Structure 1
Amino acid sequence: MSQKANYFKLGLFVIGALVAGIVVILVIGSGRWFERKSTIESYFNESVQGLDIGSKLKYRGVVIGEVTKISFTYVVYQQDLPMSQRFRYVLVESQINPRLVGGRAATGDLTTHDGAKAEVERGLRIRLTPQGITGTSFLELDYVDPPPATLPIAWTPNNVYIPSTPSTVSQFVNAASDIIDDCTGSTSRARSRTSTG
């Protein structure tokens, strides 16, 4: 009889420990599982090399979300147009934690189209940023002053839309190209002056 009682007590102990373990896991992990996330999308008219699903979305260095989808806008939008007439932007969707970007308490609520539009008018943009020498990239959300022009779009975005601004690498390449063009033009003008004069 005492051996049966020991098995019974042992069984109760094991079941109790399992239930307690499950409760602890749920309490610790509930913050991440039940946390409300919002999806935002942005379009890039440049290569997003180094950006992958799971790449971080940061606001002033603080991680506020991650990339969940990378595709092309013509896969989702402008399906009624011939391929030659569609925009060929890169579509990037990210999930953000509204609590970390102000939620409803800040001047703009990035979880709504109207709130995001107000912040975009103030200069909020997403930029592709390289991460060190590893070749990986992340998205940086920040305000740009003065607010740059946005890419033209001919559709209503499915999610909250935050426009992109050219990456630092892209700006550098464009500036270098302009300098080379200026030098080439100056050299051509100098040659034409020496050959005619």
Structure 2
Amino acid sequence: MATPTNHYKLGLFVLLGLAGAIVLGVLFGAASMRSETSKYHSYFNESVQGLDVGSPVKFRGVTIGHVSAIEIAPDHRRVDVVSELDSGDIRRLGLTEADTSKHGRAGGKARFAIPPDLRAQLGSQGITGVKFIAIDFFDVKSNPPPELPFSTPHDRYIPAAPSMMKNLEDTITKAMDRLPEMVDAVVMIMGRVDRLLAKLEKEDVSGKVGATLGHADDVMKVMQKTLARIDAQDLGAKAVTTIEAVNASLARMNAVIDRLDGDAGLVASAQHATDAFGEMGRAGRGTQRDLETTLRDVSEAAAAIRSLAEAIERDPDMLLKGKTQVSRRAPR
């Protein structure tokens, strides 16, 4: 026989369960209300599909908050994502700056430190497409802060960086835009290659190359024979002997040059002799005038002797008659 159902106990159990659920809800709600948070805005110039309110916000993989709102930015082009960061978490991780504006002293409400190279980026979890906000450091040169056509909240703005999917999409788009140009360049190159091959075939370049290779083979054979003769005649040792003889001759020439050179060398002696001749020439200039006078006197004496000889030839008796008579018999 079935036991009758105790409705009193069942109702009491249901009431106690509801009361416990309400108490737990109140406790969790109170705890969440007591938790201190800070809101920061980021403006993404891309689709945020897969990102929902409540999605985690992570700093280098560590959860520090969640997404509290997703709105359209004032320019109606970007998406305004509000990240609500837990002050306890960011304080525990040492990512805060003390806000002294409250009560005029440090130790007030904590705020998230935003250095110039800090960026917010869309990240994906696995292959499910669920997105989250990843906060990390980026190179300022390659990821400068975006120029926004509207004002941003003071000290509550984290610049956004393009996601990896956005960068990949932009790269593919640029490549696709250049694809027609690349195809035209490839077609032009293929046409030039085709014309070059046709020209080579027309000029029988392959046959000429074969003949050239055959000639090169003959030349190599001749060189091998020549090298074999050189080895057989031991020209290498003879060349070494010749080089040694040339070196000895050069040494002797150096010795001769050393004898010619220097203060006691032949060149110096010749220079001294030249200087002596110059001194003699300068000394002989003084006696040149005396020599000219003597030669002039000798010339006058020769002229007188020549006149005497002519007179004797005209009158042989002049020496016997004397000069006076000769003078008297001068022609009238």
Deviation (angstroms), 1:57: 0.6
CA distance in 2, matches of 1:35, 1:53: 18
Deviation (angstroms), 1:153: 1.4
CA distance in 1, matches of 2:23, 2:48: 41
CA distance in 2, matches of 1:146, 1:54: 29
Cα–Cα, structure 1 residues 132 and 104, in superposed 2: closer, same or farther, change >3 Å? closer
Find 2:136's aligned residue among 124, 133, 142. Answer: 142
Please name the residue that 2:73 is paired with: 73
55-64 vs 138-147, which moves further: 138-147
Equivalent residue letter for 1:93? V
Q: Counting helix residues as a fraction of each chain, which structure ranks higher? A: 2
CA distance in 2, matches of 1:170, 1:107: 30
* Contact persistence 1:38–1:97 (CA under 8 A): yes
1:177 to 2:173 alignment = yes
Please name the residue that 1:61 is paired with: 61
* Contact persistence 1:102–1:109 (CA under 8 A): no
Equivalent residue letter for 2:153? N
* Contact persistence 2:53–2:67 (CA under 8 A): yes
Cα–Cα, structure 1 residues 183 and 91, in superposed 2: closer, same or farther, change >3 Å? same
Please name the residue that 1:157 is paired with: 152
1:39-54 aligned within 5 A: 39-54=39-54
1:166 to 2:166 alignment = no
Where does the alignment leave 5 or more consecutive residues of structure 1 unmatched? 1-17, 75-85
Find 1:94's aligned residue among 75, 83, 88. Answer: 83
Find 2:183's aligned residue among 166, 187, 194. Answer: 187
* Contact persistence 1:69–1:92 (CA under 8 A): yes
Cα–Cα, structure 1 residues 192 and 58, in superposed 2: closer, same or farther, change >3 Å? same
Normalised to the residue count of structure 2, the TM-score between the two structures is: 0.42
Q: Which has the higher contact order (CA 8 A, sep 6+)?
A: 1
Q: Counting strand residues as a fraction of each chain, which structure ranks higher? A: 1
Describe the superposition over 1:90-129 as per-residue Cα deviations: whole angstroms up to 9, x where unpaired: 111111012323479557569659x43xx1x1x1111111
CA distance in 2, matches of 1:143, 1:63: 16
Count of aligned residue pairs for this structure pair: 160
Q: What percent identity do the matched residue pairs reach? A: 29
Cα–Cα, structure 1 residues 106 and 133, in superposed 2: closer, same or farther, change >3 Å? closer
Instruction: Write out the 4+ residue segments of structure 1 that deviate beyond 6 Å after TM superposition.
Output: none
Normalised to the residue count of structure 1, the TM-score between the two structures is: 0.66
Cα–Cα, structure 1 residues 174 and 154, in superposed 2: closer, same or farther, change >3 Å? closer
Equivalent residue letter for 1:144? F
Matched residue of 1:150: which SS? coil
CA distance in 2, matches of 1:194, 1:133: 42
CA distance in 1, matches of 2:148, 2:97: 23
Matched residue of 1:161: which SS? coil
